[in-house]
Amino acid sequence: MKNIAPAVFAPDGIGDTKPDNQAVLNWVHEVGTLTNPENVFWCDGSEREHEFLIAESLKQNVVIKLNEKKVPRSYLHRSNPNDVARVERFTFICTPTKEEAGPTNNWSEPAETYSKLHGLLKGAMRGRTMFVVPYIMGPPDSPLTKVGFEITDSIYVVLSMRIMTRMGKIALERLGNDPKAEWNRGVHSLLDVDPARRFICHFPQDNAIISVGSGYGGNVLLSKKCLALRIGSYLARKQGWMAEHMLILGVKSPDGKKHYVSAAFPSACGKTNFAMLIPPKHFEGWKITTVGDDIAWMQVRDGRLYAVNPENGYFGVVPGTSYKSNPNAMKSIARDSLYTNVALTDDSDVWWEGKDGPPPAHAIDWRGNDWTPESKEKAAHPNSRFTTPMRNNPALDSEVEGGKGVPISAIIFGGRRSDTIPLVYQALDWDHGVYLGATMASETTAAAAGAVGQVRRDPMAMLPFCGYNIGDYFQHWLDIGRRLTNPPLIFNVNWFRKGAGGKFLWPGFGENMRVLKWVIDRCEGNAGALKSPLGWLPGPHDLDLGELDIDHKCIAELLGIDHEEWQKEIVQHKKFFDSLGDVIPQELQKQRETLAARFKE
């Protein structure tokens, strides 16, 4: 069989930065004995190492160099067409008991799973290089920061981890040589990228991950969904903090007052766009800054919730990204970026559906085939991605490196719903807010394999990412609330409501600032709201709609509560809770009953 990841041979001084920590050395030795690689490459994150790996990746056609003038220092990678998204079916939480993994996770018995995976890994790196990637998640001086090591036989993974994490010597220094120190063990092998031998397995009790058979970012950049969310959420509960699938943004008003907001949306619902929002002209003097676009680690301090972004880069969905939808993302990905599964133009630029300007007359599509605007196939895969350093973002928040984290004034939940859910409303209190998060739902997108467009419940946008029993996770949220004397206010938003003609009612993009301003004004205690069965709802005059060309009927529809739809929605909440067995905390059952009762008042 063809070796899809031939070994690389580095000159002296590259690939030989071994850690001192004996526990790490022992583990690497064990994995090496099992996988039998040609050689071991110890990454240090240096520029010289990077240059070497880029040169090797070009030689092996793992990446294609893009036009240096148009997209400096950037590359295109094409994944195997059978491997373009996260695979929830093959993602497992391997806790000692099934109950610990809970009703929303695939569970697999740890000893059996280790044994099966070790079988697959046996000799899997023969003729390949085993890269050892040390990294940290979190700002260097945050108490929440975690050390991880990822072993991989994919150069693409190494190049990506260098962007997505603080990688290399910084992790070795942080870890030190205490053999008992806490660190995450991640093993990844491409094997032969066969969906029949694709498994992403988490062993939270061992702080360990094994991922085989895939090269797609969400499955193989083990720092991200695997460590920062699945293992992270498990550790967070044990250690009393929170690991959430949330963006973090800063909002500064013209009078200089600043608030931080975190927001949870399911995959591919516009989190990155919201995190990088540029206020429309009408909001002159307002400034939005990005702390993070995907993951928030939060802890309680002095009765408030403080958040850090554990990541160092963005792994965002490309199609639809344009100067209209997200100018800051466009500027961020204009250089130093690794693109996956977008189209390549004849002048070695990148192209995707929804990019500004007309489509190219000819391109090579994400599968490597000729493409013209007449082609039936999409040029870029709907889940094609950019991997880009967060420091490229012109709106990066000044506190992003601060270990203390930023104080969160508001938490926003949202999903993609064509009906039922108003543009925005505010929870009555923390526990009610937890209920909003717990019953969140969204129409599915291309970020995960499977049917697109079906409504599925996705509590706190954590359905695919909660590394333990979802009932315990809800209880953890409720418990955190008890420790907050100054809790964030909680909101629900829906940018995706459609009118009778099937058209979106809300213009979206930068106009989301209008909703955000109401959120901030509520935090400041100076915005009006009407009490409704759902919670606090803005009246049409409470939202700043100045200079927005929108019909008042549209606003009424956006903010409207359709009692019939809500009767169905509440039945769906009950069905969802029932489907989880008896894990739901009493408090949330009570919330559902009081919601139903409010509709009867």
Structure tokens at 315: 């792994």
Tell me the closest approach of the beta carbon of residue 127 to ligand OXD, in angstroms.
31
Q: Is there a contact between 326 and 273 (Cβ–Cβ < 8 Å)?
A: yes
Element containing residue 579 per DSSP (H, E): helix 563-579
Tell me the closest approach of the beta carbon of residue 271 to ligand OXD, in angstroms.
7
CA angle 516, 532, 591 (to 5 degrees): 95
Tell me the closest approach of the beta carbon of residue 425 to ligand OXD, in angstroms.
24
Q: Is there a contact between 448 and 454 (Cβ–Cβ < 8 Å)?
A: no
Query: Which letter, b or e, does each residue of 106-121 get, where b requires 16 or more Cβ atoms within 10 Å of its Cβ?
Result: bbbebeebbebbeebb
Binding mask 249-288 toward Mn ion (x if CB under 5 A, else -) reads ------------------x---------------------
Stretch that binds Mn ion, among 228-236, 290-298, 322-330, 510-518 (CB under 5 A): 290-298
Tell me the closest approach of the beta carbon of residue 294 to ligand OXD, in angstroms.
5
Alpha-carbon gap, residue 39 to 304, rounded angstroms: 49
Q: Which is nearer to ligand OXD, 218 or 313 (CB)?
A: 218
Tell me the closest approach of the beta carbon of residue 259 to Mn ion, in angstroms.
23
Alpha-carbon gap, residue 161 to 222, rounded angstroms: 9
- Closest C-alpha among 248, 258, 50 to residue 138: 248
Q: What's the sign of the alpha-carbon dihedral 206, 212, 217, 218?
A: negative
Give how far Cα 149 sits from Cα of 126, 165, 351, 418, Å: 21, 11, 34, 42
Q: Which is nearer to ligand OXD, 175 or 462 (CB)?
A: 462
Catalytic residue numbers? 269
Tell me the closest approach of the beta carbon of residue 355 to Mn ion, in angstroms.
22
Alpha-carbon gap, residue 418 to 166, rounded angstroms: 39
Measured from each CB, the residue nearest to ligand OXD is 267
- Contact partner, 86, from ligand OXD, Mn ion, none, Cβ < 5-8 Å per class: ligand OXD
Q: Which is nearer to ligand OXD, 249 or 447 (CB)?
A: 447
- Contact partner, 497, from ligand OXD, Mn ion, none, Cβ < 5-8 Å per class: none
Structure tokens at 549: 């060309």
Q: Which is nearer to Mn ion, 83 or 294 (CB)?
A: 294
Q: Is there a contact between 249 and 257 (Cβ–Cβ < 8 Å)?
A: no
Q: Would you tell me which residues interact with ligand OXD (CB under 6 A)?
A: 86, 218, 267, 294, 315, 447
Q: Is there a contact between 319 and 503 (Cβ–Cβ < 8 Å)?
A: no
Tell me the closest approach of the beta carbon of residue 268 to ligand OXD, in angstroms.
7
CB under 8 Å to 449, separation ≥6 — which residues?
84, 85, 86, 87, 88, 89
Tell me the closest approach of the beta carbon of residue 230 to ligand OXD, in angstroms.
12
- Contact partner, 366, from Mn ion, ligand OXD, none, Cβ < 5-8 Å per class: none
Selected from 56, 100, 150, 294, the binder of Mn ion by CB under 5 A is 294
CA angle 297, 303, 308 (to 5 degrees): 20
Structure tokens at 303: 């009765």
- Contact partner, 437, from ligand OXD, Mn ion, none, Cβ < 5-8 Å per class: none
Q: Is there a contact between 127 and 3 (Cβ–Cβ < 8 Å)?
A: yes
Structure tokens at 416: 């993609």
293 lies in the site for Mn ion, by CB under 5 A = no
Q: Which is nearer to ligand OXD, 174 or 224 (CB)?
A: 224
Helices and strands (H and E) in the chain: how many: 16, 31
CB under 8 Å to 24, separation ≥6 — which residues?
134, 149, 175, 183
- Contact partner, 251, from ligand OXD, Mn ion, none, Cβ < 5-8 Å per class: none
Tell me the closest approach of the beta carbon of residue 366 to ligand OXD, in angstroms.
17
- List phi, psi (to 5°) of 578: -60, -40
- Contact partner, 447, from ligand OXD, Mn ion, none, Cβ < 5-8 Å per class: ligand OXD
Q: Is there a contact between 554 and 423 (Cβ–Cβ < 8 Å)?
A: no
Q: Which residues partner with 388 through β-bridges?
A: 314
Q: Which is nearer to Mn ion, 57 or 267 (CB)?
A: 267
- Contact partner, 218, from Mn ion, ligand OXD, none, Cβ < 5-8 Å per class: ligand OXD
Q: Is there a contact between 557 and 499 (Cβ–Cβ < 8 Å)?
A: yes
Tell me the closest approach of the beta carbon of residue 86 to ligand OXD, in angstroms.
6
- Residue 530 carries which side chain, given as an amino acid letter? L
CB under 8 Å to 217, separation ≥6 — which residues?
160, 224, 315, 340, 385, 387
Q: Which is nearer to ligand OXD, 295 or 428 (CB)?
A: 295
Q: Which is nearer to ligand OXD, 268 or 520 (CB)?
A: 268
Q: Which is nearer to ligand OXD, 311 or 431 (CB)?
A: 311
Q: Which is nearer to ligand OXD, 17 or 267 (CB)?
A: 267
Give the footprint of Mn ion on this chain (CB under 5 A).
267, 294
